[in-house]
């Protein structure tokens, strides 16, 4: 998709040529647009009359299509209600709008925000995010989706001409100037979100650890990102006994991916390390999961996909001041004759021994070795992202990701980044009492507690490996994908992470003394 920014005033908007002009309308502002002291706002006068005539209410996502509008060059006009005009309402409205028009014959669509939108940057940002989201189409193993799409577009031409090619965001000139940066940033963000979605969605036989390694290698080829992909031999040498135990029932070889982005002005700074859980399929292992809905455990690598997405965005945007390391332990969790068994004790890279009481609690087993590995970068902060527990879905549903942290500064920065990007999280507790559940008679720690506070005990397990740095853990089990008719990856939390990196990671996070 091509995005463009254009300066259009109330009068030049009338002569702007476009297939469809979507005009965002806030509720309750249509009557008061003409003023005698300012130049006549021609478009708004025109719109007021339409709204009055059609009694159009600007409820979020409500539309009114004008087929052959008078006085304007646009072939069609669509009024789009955006409620109170907040970021969230704009995103929702534009999403609804583009989901409904994507099968129509428009090639170029302009979205217009008039002067009543004082936060033009926000309007642009959320429109672009919403357009990209609603136009995403999964085709890798369903090429027919593309053909269906072009059929419904009623466009007899070749498939390449079907569908939307370009979207113009338009508004008054003064505000557009400051929007250039926002524009570059959000288009880069969207590329990252799309990559995360795409790899999240790919079937487990099309998104193996080897494939994820190749995605990283490709990012390295086309940008300044340093990439290193390790296999079983190197991982064994590192002593990652916990990670290896998860992989041992699978015939797909594991990978440990490491990526490093260093901006032009970040030569000496300590990095922020992102760690993504990359279980490309989670059967539960010998502690086998029930069959119903097990296919959704292909999404158990969405943490990894979000880290790949962030690096895609960084490679496009190239922010000068950032230094970011991405680590992805990735493997399958399968049962077979050689698989790890409940009761087995493994030795992690940190030297701590772990009694594996449930082979389905595998995410923490691969993450703990990555956390230990992260220490060598002397990180400013380490954030792991994981579809870690069903318990987190019970606690927070599909709205907010779970946030756990040993550092209040880091936690507030992530909370703020979540609010600002509409990719929200909610902080959960880490009281030491929760660690009681992980006691073992046969190892330093057990990999599961009882059912109570399952997302917290999982985080308590991870915390044991994160005592040397500021650390946060995002449990995205409820937010990384949607089930049912809309089954598919959401691309979360790439938005939160990019917002954090670009605007909230400035303050050094001091390690808090070990608990
Ligand atoms: N990948 C799952 C977590 C999960 C389950 C995410 C369902 C989203 C939906 C994870 O590896 C897992 O199986 N966790 C277990 C932990 C339990 C054995 C302590 C769980 O949540 O049931
Ligand atoms: Mn599991
Ligand atoms: Zn899992």
Domain with CATH 3.40.630.10 in the chain: 189-503
Query: What residue owns the CA closest to ligand 1's atom 8?
Result: 477
pLDDT tens, per residue, the chain with 515 residues: 899 999 998 889 999 999 999 999 999 865 544 444 444 456 777 777 888 888 888 999 999 999 988 888 999 999 999 999 999 999 999 999 999 998 888 999 999 999 889 999 999 999 999 999 999 999 999 999 987 655 544 444 333 335 899 999 999 876 777 778 999 999 999 999 999 999 999 999 999 999 999 999 999 998 889 999 999 999 999 999 999 999 999 999 999 999 999 999 998 889 999 999 999 999 999 999 999 999 999 999 999 999 999 999 999 999 999 999 999 999 999 999 999 999 999 999 999 999 999 999 999 999 999 999 999 999 999 999 999 999 999 999 999 999 999 999 999 999 999 999 999 999 999 999 999 999 999 999 999 999 999 999 999 999 999 999 999 999 999 999 999 999 999 999 999 999 999 998 876 465 444 33
Å from CA of 477 to ligand 3 middle: 9
- Residue 262 is among the residues annotated as catalytic for this protein: no
The secondary structure of residue 123, as a DSSP letter, is H
- Taken as a whole, the chain contains a residue count of 515
Beta bridge partners of 274: 326, 383
Query: What is the number of H-type helices and E-type strands within the chain?
Result: 15, 20
> Ligand 1, from 305, 360, 438: best to mutate by most atoms within 8 Å of Cβ?
360
CA 204 to CA 232: how far, in whole Å?
20
Domain 189-503 has CATH 3.30.110.40: no
Largest CA distance in the chain: 83
Please report which ligand is nearest the Cα atom of 296.
Answer: 1
Residue 298 Cα to ligand 1 midpoint, Å, equals 12
Inter-helix orientation angle 209-221/302-317, to 10° = 10
Tell how far the Cα of 29 is from the centroid of ligand 3, in angstroms: 49
DSSP state of 409: H
Q: Residue 503: name the closest of 412, 426, 425 by CA.
A: 412
Written as six digits, the tokens of 325 are 């390391």
Q: Are 245 and 333 within 8 A, CB to CB? A: no
| Cα separation, 343 vs 237, whole angstroms | 24
Cβ neighbours of 141 (radius 10 Å): 11
Q: 510 phi and psi, to 5 degrees?
A: -80, 135
The CATH topology of domain 2-172 is 3.40.220
Distance 136 CA to ligand 3 centre (A): 26
**Ligand 1 atom nearest to 390, measured from its CA:** 21
Q: Is 477 in the pocket of ligand 1 (CB under 6 A)?
A: yes
Residue 154 Cα to chain centre, angstroms: 33
Cα separation, 110 vs 88, whole angstroms: 20
Q: Is the CB of 332 under 6 A from ligand 1?
A: no
Q: What is the pLDDT of residue 151?
A: 52
Residues near 191 by beta carbon (within 8 Å), at least 6 away in sequence: 312, 313, 316
Sign of the CA dihedral with 103 first, then 104, 109, and 115 last: negative
Protein residue closest via CA to atom 7 of ligand 1: 390
pLDDT value of position 149: 59
pLDDT, residue 224, reads: 84
Q: Distance between CA atoms of 146 and 139, rounded to whole angstroms?
A: 7
Coil, strand, or helix at residue 227?
A: strand
Is any atom of ligand 1 closer than 6 Å to the C-beta of 95? Answer: no
The reply to whether ligand 1 has any atom less than 6 angstroms from the CB of 402 is no
Query: Rounded to a whole number, what is the distance in angstroms from the first to the last CA of the chain?
Result: 49
Give, as one character, the DSSP assignment of residue 435.
G
pLDDT for position 115: 86
- Structure confidence at residue 54 (pLDDT): 82
Q: Please indicate whether residue 289 is annotated as part of the active site.
A: yes
Q: What share of the chain is helix, strand, coil (3-state, %, to 5)?
A: 40, 20, 40
Chain region(s) in the chain for CATH 3.40.220.10: 2-172
- Dist CA 367 CA 165 (whole Å): 41
- Long-range contacts of the stretch 134-140 (C-beta < 8 A, 24+): 134/94, 134/95, 134/96, 134/98, 134/99, 134/102, 135/1, 135/98, 135/102, 135/164, 136/194, 136/197, 138/198, 138/201, 138/488, 140/198, 140/201, 140/202, 140/206
Q: Is the CB of 282 under 6 A from ligand 1?
A: yes
Q: How far apart are CA 348 and CA 241, in angstroms?
A: 5
**Binding site membership of 493 for ligand 1 (Cβ less than 6 Å):** no
Q: Is 306 exposed, middle or buried (0-12, 13-18, 19+ CB in 10 A)?
A: buried
Cα 306 to ligand 1 centre (Å): 18
**87 touches 127 (CB < 8 A):** no
Query: How many angstroms separate the CA atoms of 61 and 82, rounded?
Result: 6
Pocket test for ligand 1, best of 385, 389, 401 (most atoms within 8 A of CB): 389
| Ligand 1 site, residue 449, Cβ cutoff 6 A | no
The strand pair at 108-112 and 471-475 is best described as unpaired
User: If you ran DSSP here, which 8-state letter would residue 407 be given?
Assistant: -
Question: What residues does 4 pair with on adjacent strands?
Answer: 168
Quote the distance between the C-alpha of residue 84 and its chain's center.
25
* Three-class secondary structure assignment of 56-104: CCCCCCCEEEECCCCCCCCCCEEEEECCCCCHHHHHHHHHHHHHHHCCC
475 ligand 1 Cβ < 6 A = no
At 451, list the tokens: 């059912």
Q: How far is the CA of 94 from the centre of ligand 1 (A)?
A: 34
Where b means 16+ CB within 10 Å and e means fewer, 108-121 reads bbbbbbbbebeebb
Catalytic residue, candidates 76, 262, 364, 464: 364
Contact 210 CB / ligand 1 (< 6 Å): no
């Amino acid at each position: 998709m091509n995005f463009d920014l254009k300066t259009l005033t109330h009068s030049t908007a009338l002569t702007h040529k476009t297939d469809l002009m979507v005009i965002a309308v806030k509720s309750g502002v249509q009557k008061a647009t003409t003023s005698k002291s300012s130049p006549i706002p021609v478009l708004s006068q025109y719109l007021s009359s339409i709204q009055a005539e059609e009694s159009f209410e600007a409820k979020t996502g409500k539309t009114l299509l004008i087929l052959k509008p008078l006085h304007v060059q646009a072939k069609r006009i669509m009024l789009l209600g955006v409620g109170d005009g907040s970021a969230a309402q704009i995103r929702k409205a534009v999403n609804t709008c583009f989901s409904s028009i994507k099968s129509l014959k428009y090639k170029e669509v302009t979205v217009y925000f008039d002067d009543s939108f004082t936060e033009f940057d926000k309007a642009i940002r959320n429109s672009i995010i919403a357009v990209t989201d609603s136009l995403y189409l999964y085709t890798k193993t369903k090429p027919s989706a593309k053909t269906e799409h072009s059929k419904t577009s009623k466009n007899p031409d070749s498939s390449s001409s079907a569908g939307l090619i370009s979207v113009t965001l338009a508004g008054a000139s003064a505000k557009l100037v400051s929007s250039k940066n926002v524009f570059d940033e959000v288009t880069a963000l969207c590329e990252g979100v799309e990559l995360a979605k795409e790899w999240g969605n790919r079937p487990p036989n099309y998104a193996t650890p080897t494939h994820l390694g190749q995605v990283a290698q490709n990012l390295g080829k086309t940008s300044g990102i340093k990439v290193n992909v390790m296999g079983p031999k190197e991982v064994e040498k590192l002593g990652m006994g916990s990670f290896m135990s998860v992989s041992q029932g699978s015939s797909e070889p594991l990978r440990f991916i490491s990526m490093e982005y260093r901006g032009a002005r970040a030569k000496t700074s300590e990095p922020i390390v992102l760690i993504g859980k990359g279980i490309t399929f989670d059967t539960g292992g010998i502690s086998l999961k029930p069959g119903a809905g097990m296919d959704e455990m292909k999404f158990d690598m969405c943490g990894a996909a979000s880290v790949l997405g962030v690096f895609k965005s960084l490679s496009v945007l190239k922010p000068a001041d950032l230094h970011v390391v991405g680590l992805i332990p990735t493997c399958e969790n399968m049962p077979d004759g050689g698989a790890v068994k409940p009761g087995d004790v493994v030795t992690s890279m940190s030297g701590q021994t772990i009694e594996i009481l449930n082979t389905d609690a595998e995410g923490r087993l691969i993450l703990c070795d990555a956390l230990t590995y992260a220490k060598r970068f002397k990180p400013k902060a380490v954030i792991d992202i994981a579809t870690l527990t069903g318990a987190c879905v019970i606690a927070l549903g599909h709205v907010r990701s779970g946030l756990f942290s040993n550092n209040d500064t880091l936690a507030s920065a992530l909370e703020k980044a979540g609010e600002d990007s509409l990719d929200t999280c909610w902080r959960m507790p880490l009281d030491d009492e929760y660690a009681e559940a992980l006691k073992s008679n046969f190892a330093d720690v057990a990999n599961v507690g009882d059912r109570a506070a399952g997302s917290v005990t999982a985080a308590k397990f991870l915390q044991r490996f994160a005592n040397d740095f500021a650390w946060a853990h995002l449990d995205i089990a409820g937010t990384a994908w949607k089930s049912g008719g809309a089954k598919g990856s959401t691309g979360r939390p790439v938005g939160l992470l990019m917002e954090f990196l670009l605007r909230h990671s400035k303050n050094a996070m001091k390690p808090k003394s070990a608990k």
